Chains A and B, each alone.
Chain A
Amino acid sequence: MSEAAAVDHAHGVEPAETPLTPESWGKLGMWVFLAGDAMSFGTLLAGYAILRGISENWPVPTEILGISLTAFMTFLLICSSVTMVKGLDAIKKGDQEGLVKYMWLTVGGGLIFLGLQAYEWTHLINLGLGLAENEWGDSLFGTTFYIITGFHGMHVTGGVIYLAVIAMRGKKGVYSATNWNEVEIAGLYWHFVDLVWILVFTFIYLL
């Protein structure tokens, strides 16, 4: 803790630095938000597991869902996580052009992911898998599938907008080798979206 922060703390004022993330309170705020968000996803996945466990005619997901397409979507999100960290690395070295380039690549990855998800949903709806209808067995399969992948898709949409704002601010020269905190915080959100998809892909599609 810096001297100024210690003085503030002694006077009962909120310290300027958090001991957990000395870089910024914003970073700690994002971590706390992500922990709360993880509980939302965790509850949905736990609910899925319970509904599946008590169902007598739960279909085999791999027989209905397109694994090759979603495996590619997983690959896409992993790639977008790499471009995200490359963007952060670039701005840490003062490379503003590199930051903007990698941010737009990350946004592009997110947009393609969303496009493929829209295609997948349309295809499945045409096949007869709805929110409350399922020709292959328990209707709750469709309910849980659309709720969980939809909730994740909304997160990707939010992330795409968030990163587009970071890219535009980067283009304006807001970030530098000594000011990249906001980029790191945005990156935490995006990697979380990737991490959640890894779990969704396993539990909803493969298991």
Chain B
Amino acid sequence: MASDSHAQHDDHHVNYMAIFWWLLALTILEVLAGIPQASPAYPQLLKGALLVIMAVAKAALVGLYFMHLRFEKLTLGFIAMIPLVLCVFVVLMVLPDF
């Protein structure tokens, strides 16, 4: 394994507690947006959009900073994005049947 033969070094610094507070704040906002039932004043589309945007933001924070994707090579980021692209593709391909 590389770690046996190479002295590892780390040259990036992340304020993990700042990421934690962002994740906590977004979780609270998500619960506040998710609990009320959809109604004419709060359409399902708006509720869905708010929840999806906040979930993607939280997932991006975890991926970029906790998993250090922000500091990895771009190609690794592309590998990580492939599943998301394929899943969106699957849903879009099925949508016309609805």
Contacts and interface: CB of A to CB of B under 8 A. Distances in A.
Contact of A202 (B20, B55, B67, B79): B55
A152 interface: no
B8 A178 contact: yes
B66 A191 contact: yes
A57 interface: no
Size bin of chain A's contact surface: 35 or more
**Contact residue range for chain B?**
35 or more
Nearest to B34: A206
Contact of B3 (A50, A180, A198, A203): A180
Nearest to B66: A191
A67 B4 contact: no
A125 interface: no
Given A67-B31, A206-B51, A53 B98 contact: yes
A16 B62 contact: no
B63 A180 contact: no
A177 B63 CA distance: 24
B66 A85 contact: yes
B41 interface: no
Nearest to A45: B87
Interface string B1-42: 111101110100010110110011001001101110100000
A84 B66 CA distance: 9
A26 B98 CA distance: 43
A195 B80 CA distance: 12
B57 to A, nearest CB: 10
A82 B20 contact: yes
Given A49-B91, A180-B8, 19 more contacts: A17-B2, A24-B2, A24-B3, A25-B2, A38-B83, A39-B86, A42-B84, A53-B98, A62-B35, A71-B31, A85-B16, A86-B16, A89-B16, A181-B3, A181-B8, A182-B3, A188-B67, A191-B67, A207-B47
23 contacts: A21-B72, A22-B2, A23-B2, A23-B8, A35-B82, A39-B82, A42-B87, A46-B91, A53-B98, A60-B37, A67-B31, A67-B34, A67-B35, A75-B24, A86-B16, A89-B16, A180-B8, A181-B8, A187-B67, A191-B62, A195-B62, A199-B55, A202-B30
Interface of A: 16-17, 19-26, 28, 31-32, 34-35, 38-39, 41-43, 45-46, 49-50, 53-54, 60, 62, 67, 71, 74-75, 78-79, 81-82, 84-86, 89, 92, 178-182, 187-188, 191-192, 194-195, 198-199, 201-203, 205-207
Interface of B: 1-4, 6-8, 10, 14, 16-17, 19-20, 23-24, 27, 30-31, 33-35, 37, 47-48, 51-52, 54-55, 58-59, 62-63, 66-67, 72-73, 75-76, 79-80, 82-84, 86-87, 90-91, 94, 98
